[in-house]
Amino acid sequence: MTLLVCLLLFGCGGSKGEGGPEIIGVDQTRILNDADTELHLTGSHLTGTVKVLLWMGTPERLQRQVAVTGLKVSSDNMLAFTAPAGILPGKYMVVVQTEEHTTFSDKLLITIEERDKGVSPKVVRVQGELYSDVPSRIYLVGPGMGEL
């Protein structure tokens, strides 16, 4: 059934064993919907990705679909994208599309929450460089780290 829906909606075929993308992980699985959030996805066969979607529902039954922005494929094993602010709260699969394949992350979900019902701030990574001899700017990245 999944392949049938995939064929009807996207004209896709194949599987990860046939050269299609494979989704292994994402750096944040809980985000807030009050600001754009950059996410980093790891996997294989990601070169050639033309579109990433956030999909609420199952591969057989779409409930809501959100197109992401800022797609950057940095290698065959990593890509980045931005989940836009204002996404309705819920649990979303990541959908990665190449010209010939579509892959659903049905076991890897991203939970999107509203700030007032959101998660406590959590540092996922630190960006920037710290220098001992000059002032430095670093950024704390993670869910709930918006305007604190």
Residue 16 has pLDDT above 90, yes or no: no
pLDDT per residue as tens digits for the range 69-111: 999 999 999 999 999 999 999 999 999 999 999 998 878 899 9
**pLDDT score of 98:** 92
**Long-range pairs for 121-128: beta carbons < 8 A, 24 or more residues apart:** 121/145, 121/148, 124/27, 124/28, 125/27
Residues 28-70: tens digit of each pLDDT:
999 999 999 999 999 999 999 999 999 998 777 778 899 999 9
Its pTM surpasses 0.75:
no
Between CA 13 and CA 23, with CA 18 as vertex, the angle to 5 degrees is 85
User: If you search the block for the tokens 């299609």, which residue do you land on?
Assistant: 20
139 CB-near residues (< 8 Å, 6+ apart):
126, 127, 128
Rounded Cα distance, 26 and 143, in Å: 13
